[in-house]
Amino acid sequence: MSAHRVPRIVLAAPGSNAGKTSIATGLIAALTDRGLTVSPHKVGPDYIDPGYHGLAAGRPGRNLDNWLVGEDRIVPLFLHGARTPRPADVALVEGVMGLFDGAAHASVAPGYGSTAQVAAQLRAPVVLVVDAASQARSVAALVHGFATFDPAVRLGGVVLNRVGSDRHEAILREALGEAGVPVLGAVRRIEELHTPSRHLGLVPAAERSADAVRTVRALGAVVGASVDLDAVLRLARSAPDLAGDPWDPAAEVDPIEGRPVVAVAGGPAFTFGYAETTELLAAAGAQVATVDPLRDDALPDGTRALVVGGGFPEVHAGALSANVGLRTAIAALAAAGAPVAAECAGLLYLSRELDGEPMCGVLDTATAMHRTLNLGYRAAVALTDSVLAPAGTRVRGHEFHRTTATPGAGTTPAWQWSARGPEGFVQGSGEFGGTVHASYLHLNWAGSPSMAARFVTAAARVPEVAGAHR
For 181, the 3-state DSSP assignment is: coil
Q: Would you list the DSSP string of 363-378?
A: SS-EEEEEEEEEEEEE
Q: Give me the count of residues in the chain.
A: 470
Q: Give how far Cα 455 sits from Cα of 246, 262, 333, 388, 460, Å.
A: 24, 9, 15, 6, 9
Q: Give how far Cα 122 sits from Cα of 93, 126, 156, 248, Å.
A: 10, 11, 14, 18
Report which of 451, 425, 301 is spatially closest to residue 361, judged by C-alpha positions: 425
Burial (CB < 10 A; 0-12, 13-18, 19+), residue 341, is buried
Strand order of the sheet with strand 8-12? 62-64, 38-43, 90-94, 8-12, 126-131, 155-163, 183-188
Choose, from 308, 344, 350, 383, the residue flagged as catalytic: 344
**Helical H segments across 13-104, by residue range:** 20-33, 48-57, 66-69, 74-83
Q: How many CB atoms lie within 10 A of CB 453?
A: 20
Q: C-alpha 21: how far from its chain's center? A: 13
Burial (CB < 10 A; 0-12, 13-18, 19+), residue 458, is buried
Q: Is 360 a catalytic residue?
A: no
Q: Which residues pair with 90 in a beta bridge?
A: 38
Q: Which helix (H) or strand (E) holds 404?
A: strand 394-406
Residues 6+ apart with CB under 8 A from 121: 71, 74, 75
Between the two ends of the chain, the Cα-to-Cα distance in Å is: 47
Amino acid at 464: E
Report which of 63, 128, 130, 133 is spatially closest to residue 93, judged by C-alpha positions: 63
Q: How far apart are CA 268 and CA 265, in angstroms?
A: 10
Catalytically active residues, by annotation: 344
